[in-house]
Amino acid sequence: MTQIPLVRLRNGDQVPALGQGTWNMGESAAQAAAEVKALQAGMELGMTLIDTAEMYADGGAERIVGRAIAGRRDEVYVVSKVLPHNASRRGTIAACEASLKRLGTDRLDLYLLHWRGSHPLSATVEAMQALVAQGKIRGWGVSNLDTDDIDELLEEDNGGQCLTNQVLYNLSRRGIEYDLLPESLERGVPIMAYSPIEQGRILKNAALSAIAQRHGVTPAQVALAWVLRQPGVIAIPKASDKEHVRQNRTCLDITLADTDLKELDAAFPPPRRKQPLAML
Protein backbone atom coordinates (compact mmCIF):
# COMPACT_ATOMS: atom_id res chain seq x y z
CA MET A 1 0.00 0.00 0.00
CA THR A 2 1.43 3.35 -1.07
CA GLN A 3 2.47 5.58 1.83
CA ILE A 4 0.34 8.65 2.36
CA PRO A 5 2.32 11.77 1.34
CA LEU A 6 2.78 14.42 4.00
CA VAL A 7 2.01 18.10 3.52
CA ARG A 8 4.05 20.56 5.56
CA LEU A 9 2.29 23.57 7.07
CA ARG A 10 4.08 26.84 7.76
CA ASN A 11 4.09 26.18 11.53
CA GLY A 12 6.15 23.03 10.94
CA ASP A 13 3.30 20.53 11.35
CA GLN A 14 3.23 17.74 8.78
CA VAL A 15 -0.18 16.30 7.97
CA PRO A 16 -1.31 13.43 5.75
CA ALA A 17 -2.49 14.53 2.31
CA LEU A 18 -5.42 12.11 2.65
CA GLY A 19 -7.56 12.68 5.72
CA GLN A 20 -11.16 12.07 6.76
CA GLY A 21 -14.19 14.35 6.60
CA THR A 22 -17.24 14.17 8.86
CA TRP A 23 -19.88 16.27 7.11
CA ASN A 24 -23.27 14.53 7.64
CA MET A 25 -21.92 12.41 10.49
CA GLY A 26 -23.55 12.56 13.91
CA GLU A 27 -27.06 12.98 12.54
CA SER A 28 -28.37 9.49 13.38
CA ALA A 29 -27.96 7.65 16.68
CA ALA A 30 -28.39 4.38 14.76
CA GLN A 31 -25.34 5.19 12.59
CA ALA A 32 -23.10 6.53 15.35
CA ALA A 33 -21.26 3.30 16.21
CA ALA A 34 -20.50 2.58 12.52
CA GLU A 35 -19.28 6.15 12.02
CA VAL A 36 -16.94 5.86 15.00
CA LYS A 37 -15.57 2.56 13.65
CA ALA A 38 -15.09 4.06 10.19
CA LEU A 39 -13.01 6.93 11.59
CA GLN A 40 -10.96 4.50 13.67
CA ALA A 41 -10.39 2.30 10.62
CA GLY A 42 -9.09 5.33 8.77
CA MET A 43 -6.77 6.16 11.64
CA GLU A 44 -5.33 2.62 11.46
CA LEU A 45 -4.65 3.18 7.76
CA GLY A 46 -2.76 6.43 8.39
CA MET A 47 -5.61 8.83 7.61
CA THR A 48 -5.01 10.60 10.89
CA LEU A 49 -6.21 14.08 9.88
CA ILE A 50 -9.88 14.29 10.88
CA ASP A 51 -11.89 17.34 9.83
CA THR A 52 -15.10 18.40 11.56
CA ALA A 53 -17.02 21.57 12.46
CA GLU A 54 -19.39 22.94 15.06
CA MET A 55 -21.99 23.25 12.27
CA TYR A 56 -22.05 19.56 11.34
CA ALA A 57 -25.14 18.01 12.95
CA ASP A 58 -25.11 20.95 15.38
CA GLY A 59 -22.06 19.56 17.17
CA GLY A 60 -23.01 15.92 16.64
CA ALA A 61 -20.10 15.24 14.29
CA GLU A 62 -17.64 16.59 16.86
CA ARG A 63 -19.10 14.17 19.41
CA ILE A 64 -18.57 11.28 16.97
CA VAL A 65 -14.95 12.37 16.48
CA GLY A 66 -14.55 12.61 20.26
CA ARG A 67 -15.66 9.00 20.62
CA ALA A 68 -13.35 7.87 17.82
CA ILE A 69 -10.24 9.52 19.24
CA ALA A 70 -10.87 8.77 22.94
CA GLY A 71 -7.64 7.46 24.43
CA ARG A 72 -5.82 8.08 21.13
CA ARG A 73 -5.69 11.87 20.99
CA ASP A 74 -1.96 12.05 20.29
CA GLU A 75 -2.35 9.88 17.17
CA VAL A 76 -4.60 12.31 15.32
CA TYR A 77 -4.58 15.80 13.83
CA VAL A 78 -7.97 17.30 14.67
CA VAL A 79 -9.45 20.13 12.59
CA SER A 80 -12.65 21.99 13.46
CA LYS A 81 -14.35 25.19 12.34
CA VAL A 82 -16.10 28.21 13.82
CA LEU A 83 -19.32 29.45 12.21
CA PRO A 84 -19.19 32.99 10.78
CA HIS A 85 -21.80 34.37 13.19
CA ASN A 86 -19.62 33.17 16.10
CA ALA A 87 -16.40 34.57 14.65
CA SER A 88 -16.08 37.74 16.73
CA ARG A 89 -13.11 37.87 19.10
CA ARG A 90 -15.10 36.75 22.12
CA GLY A 91 -17.40 34.46 20.09
CA THR A 92 -14.54 32.56 18.46
CA ILE A 93 -12.99 31.77 21.82
CA ALA A 94 -16.32 30.62 23.27
CA ALA A 95 -17.06 28.50 20.18
CA CYS A 96 -13.64 26.87 20.40
CA GLU A 97 -14.16 25.98 24.05
CA ALA A 98 -17.54 24.42 23.20
CA SER A 99 -15.94 22.38 20.39
CA LEU A 100 -13.18 21.18 22.72
CA LYS A 101 -15.80 20.00 25.20
CA ARG A 102 -17.72 18.05 22.54
CA LEU A 103 -14.48 16.54 21.22
CA GLY A 104 -13.30 15.60 24.71
CA THR A 105 -9.89 17.18 24.21
CA ASP A 106 -7.91 20.12 25.54
CA ARG A 107 -6.69 21.36 22.15
CA LEU A 108 -7.37 21.52 18.44
CA ASP A 109 -4.53 21.07 15.99
CA LEU A 110 -6.16 23.40 13.46
CA TYR A 111 -9.13 25.77 13.80
CA LEU A 112 -10.74 27.29 10.74
CA LEU A 113 -13.14 30.14 10.01
CA HIS A 114 -15.87 28.17 8.20
CA TRP A 115 -16.69 30.96 5.76
CA ARG A 116 -16.63 34.73 5.86
CA GLY A 117 -19.46 36.50 7.63
CA SER A 118 -20.12 39.96 9.04
CA HIS A 119 -17.41 39.97 11.71
CA PRO A 120 -14.19 41.65 10.57
CA LEU A 121 -11.33 39.31 9.74
CA SER A 122 -9.16 41.29 12.18
CA ALA A 123 -11.36 40.20 15.11
CA THR A 124 -11.25 36.54 14.07
CA VAL A 125 -7.47 36.61 13.60
CA GLU A 126 -7.03 38.26 16.99
CA ALA A 127 -9.11 35.51 18.61
CA MET A 128 -7.22 32.79 16.78
CA GLN A 129 -3.88 34.19 17.93
CA ALA A 130 -5.20 34.36 21.50
CA LEU A 131 -6.25 30.70 21.29
CA VAL A 132 -2.77 29.76 20.04
CA ALA A 133 -1.20 31.67 22.94
CA GLN A 134 -3.52 29.84 25.37
CA GLY A 135 -2.55 26.45 23.92
CA LYS A 136 -6.14 25.69 22.92
CA ILE A 137 -5.22 25.47 19.23
CA ARG A 138 -1.90 24.75 17.55
CA GLY A 139 -2.72 26.83 14.50
CA TRP A 140 -5.53 28.31 12.46
CA GLY A 141 -6.73 28.78 8.93
CA VAL A 142 -9.77 29.63 6.86
CA SER A 143 -12.36 27.96 4.65
CA ASN A 144 -14.27 29.12 1.58
CA LEU A 145 -12.21 32.30 1.12
CA ASP A 146 -11.52 33.47 -2.43
CA THR A 147 -8.48 35.38 -3.67
CA ASP A 148 -9.72 38.86 -2.65
CA ASP A 149 -10.53 37.67 0.86
CA ILE A 150 -7.16 35.95 1.17
CA ASP A 151 -5.38 39.12 0.02
CA GLU A 152 -7.27 41.08 2.67
CA LEU A 153 -6.52 38.47 5.32
CA LEU A 154 -2.79 38.55 4.63
CA GLU A 155 -2.76 42.32 5.18
CA GLU A 156 -4.08 41.89 8.73
CA ASP A 157 -1.69 41.75 11.67
CA ASN A 158 -0.73 38.07 11.99
CA GLY A 159 -2.78 37.23 8.88
CA GLY A 160 0.29 35.50 7.52
CA GLN A 161 -0.11 32.86 10.24
CA CYS A 162 -2.95 31.31 8.19
CA LEU A 163 -2.05 27.64 7.65
CA THR A 164 -4.60 26.51 5.06
CA ASN A 165 -7.69 27.41 3.07
CA GLN A 166 -10.31 24.65 2.91
CA VAL A 167 -12.35 24.93 -0.29
CA LEU A 168 -14.57 22.90 -2.59
CA TYR A 169 -12.33 21.20 -5.15
CA ASN A 170 -12.97 18.22 -7.38
CA LEU A 171 -13.13 17.31 -11.07
CA SER A 172 -16.37 19.24 -11.59
CA ARG A 173 -15.27 22.25 -9.48
CA ARG A 174 -11.95 23.33 -10.94
CA GLY A 175 -12.35 27.11 -10.74
CA ILE A 176 -9.59 27.48 -8.13
CA GLU A 177 -7.02 26.22 -10.63
CA TYR A 178 -7.18 29.57 -12.44
CA ASP A 179 -5.86 31.67 -9.56
CA LEU A 180 -6.59 30.63 -5.97
CA LEU A 181 -4.77 27.29 -6.09
CA PRO A 182 -1.49 28.44 -7.70
CA GLU A 183 -1.41 31.65 -5.63
CA SER A 184 -2.01 29.71 -2.41
CA LEU A 185 0.73 27.18 -3.12
CA GLU A 186 3.12 29.98 -4.08
CA ARG A 187 2.45 31.57 -0.68
CA GLY A 188 2.99 28.29 1.15
CA VAL A 189 -0.69 27.88 2.09
CA PRO A 190 -1.86 24.35 1.20
CA ILE A 191 -5.40 23.84 -0.07
CA MET A 192 -7.67 21.42 1.79
CA ALA A 193 -10.22 19.99 -0.65
CA TYR A 194 -13.66 19.20 0.72
CA SER A 195 -16.24 17.11 -1.19
CA PRO A 196 -13.46 15.72 -3.44
CA ILE A 197 -15.95 13.47 -5.26
CA GLU A 198 -18.76 16.10 -5.35
CA GLN A 199 -20.80 14.01 -2.89
CA GLY A 200 -21.00 11.26 -5.52
CA ARG A 201 -22.63 13.35 -8.23
CA ILE A 202 -19.76 12.96 -10.73
CA LEU A 203 -19.34 9.20 -10.42
CA LYS A 204 -21.53 8.23 -13.39
CA ASN A 205 -19.49 10.30 -15.82
CA ALA A 206 -18.57 8.11 -18.81
CA ALA A 207 -14.92 9.18 -19.05
CA LEU A 208 -14.38 8.72 -15.32
CA SER A 209 -16.00 5.27 -15.47
CA ALA A 210 -13.88 4.22 -18.46
CA ILE A 211 -10.64 5.25 -16.74
CA ALA A 212 -11.69 3.45 -13.57
CA GLN A 213 -12.40 0.30 -15.56
CA ARG A 214 -8.95 0.45 -17.19
CA HIS A 215 -7.29 0.67 -13.78
CA GLY A 216 -9.57 -1.92 -12.17
CA VAL A 217 -10.77 0.55 -9.54
CA THR A 218 -13.89 2.59 -8.79
CA PRO A 219 -14.71 6.02 -10.30
CA ALA A 220 -14.52 7.49 -6.79
CA GLN A 221 -10.97 6.22 -6.39
CA VAL A 222 -9.96 7.81 -9.70
CA ALA A 223 -11.59 11.11 -8.69
CA LEU A 224 -9.70 11.09 -5.38
CA ALA A 225 -6.42 10.15 -7.06
CA TRP A 226 -6.92 13.10 -9.42
CA VAL A 227 -7.36 15.56 -6.51
CA LEU A 228 -4.27 14.18 -4.78
CA ARG A 229 -2.11 14.14 -7.93
CA GLN A 230 -0.39 17.41 -7.05
CA PRO A 231 1.61 18.37 -3.95
CA GLY A 232 0.18 20.90 -1.53
CA VAL A 233 -3.39 19.60 -1.78
CA ILE A 234 -5.06 17.74 1.09
CA ALA A 235 -8.29 15.78 0.51
CA ILE A 236 -10.82 14.99 3.23
CA PRO A 237 -13.39 12.53 1.85
CA LYS A 238 -16.09 11.27 4.19
CA ALA A 239 -16.71 7.55 4.61
CA SER A 240 -19.27 6.05 6.97
CA ASP A 241 -18.18 2.40 6.79
CA LYS A 242 -14.88 0.57 6.91
CA GLU A 243 -14.95 -0.72 3.32
CA HIS A 244 -15.50 2.79 1.97
CA VAL A 245 -12.56 3.98 4.11
CA ARG A 246 -10.34 1.24 2.67
CA GLN A 247 -11.31 2.21 -0.88
CA ASN A 248 -10.48 5.84 -0.17
CA ARG A 249 -7.10 4.84 1.22
CA THR A 250 -6.12 2.72 -1.79
CA CYS A 251 -6.71 5.62 -4.20
CA LEU A 252 -3.06 6.45 -3.54
CA ASP A 253 -2.04 3.24 -5.29
CA ILE A 254 -3.41 4.65 -8.57
CA THR A 255 -1.05 6.43 -10.96
CA LEU A 256 -2.99 8.37 -13.55
CA ALA A 257 -1.30 8.38 -16.98
CA ASP A 258 -1.08 11.45 -19.21
CA THR A 259 -3.81 9.94 -21.40
CA ASP A 260 -6.06 9.58 -18.33
CA LEU A 261 -5.50 13.22 -17.40
CA LYS A 262 -6.21 14.40 -20.95
CA GLU A 263 -9.48 12.44 -21.01
CA LEU A 264 -10.47 13.93 -17.67
CA ASP A 265 -9.63 17.43 -18.94
CA ALA A 266 -11.90 16.83 -21.92
CA ALA A 267 -14.73 15.61 -19.69
CA PHE A 268 -14.18 18.22 -16.97
CA PRO A 269 -12.52 21.23 -18.65
CA PRO A 270 -10.14 23.37 -16.59
CA PRO A 271 -11.10 27.05 -16.13
CA ARG A 272 -10.11 29.60 -18.74
CA ARG A 273 -11.10 32.65 -16.73
CA LYS A 274 -11.73 33.75 -13.15
CA GLN A 275 -14.76 32.03 -11.63
CA PRO A 276 -16.63 32.80 -8.41
CA LEU A 277 -15.52 30.48 -5.62
CA ALA A 278 -17.85 27.47 -5.55
CA MET A 279 -19.34 26.37 -2.23
CA LEU A 280 -21.58 23.58 -1.01
User: pLDDT tens for residues 35-59?
Assistant: 999 999 999 999 999 999 999 999 9
Is residue 94 included in any domain, yes or no? yes
CA–CA dist 130, 92 (Å, integer): 10
Identify whether 111 is a catalytic site residue. Answer: no
Residues 254-270: what's their mean pLDDT? 97
* pLDDT of amino acid 238: 93
Confidence of residue 227 (pLDDT cuts 50, 70, 90): very high
Q: How sure is the predictor about 31, in pLDDT bands with cuts at 50, 70 and 90?
A: very high
- What pLDDT band is residue 163 in, cutting at 50, 70 and 90? very high
Is 240's pLDDT higher than 90?
no
Per-residue pLDDT averaged across 18-23, rounded? Answer: 97
The per-residue pLDDT for 269 is: 97
Q: Answer whether residue 134 is part of any domain.
A: yes
Instruction: Using the predicted structure, report yes or no on whether residue 1 has a pLDDT greater than 90.
Output: no
Does residue 137 surpass a pLDDT of 90?
yes
What average pLDDT does range 141-152 have in this prediction?
97
The strand pair at 140-143 and 233-235 is best described as unpaired
Full residue range of the structural domain in which residue 162 is found: 6-267
Q: Quick one: pLDDT at residue 262?
A: 98
Residue 7 confidence (pLDDT) above 90: yes
Q: Is residue 124 part of a domain?
A: yes
Please check whether residue 31 is in contact with residue 63, taking contact to mean a CB–CB distance below 8 angstroms: no
AA identity, residue 139: G
pLDDT recorded at residue 161 = 97
Residue 158 confidence class, pLDDT cut points 50, 70, 90: very high
Mean pLDDT, residues 204-232 taken together: 96
pLDDT at 122 over 90: yes
Give per-residue burial for 131-156: e unless 16+ CB within 10 Å, then b.
bbeeebbbbbbbbbbbbebbeebeeb
Exactly one of 56, 77, 111, 194 is catalytic; which is it?
56
Give a yes or no: residue 161 inside a domain: yes
Residue 275 falls inside a structural domain: no
On the question of pLDDT at 72 being above 90, the answer is: yes
Residue 272: inside a domain:
no
Q: Is residue 244 part of a domain?
A: yes
Average pLDDT value for the chain:
97
> Looking at the domain assignment, is residue 131 inside a domain?
yes
Domain CATH code at residue 180? 3.20.20.100
Number of domains composing the chain = 1
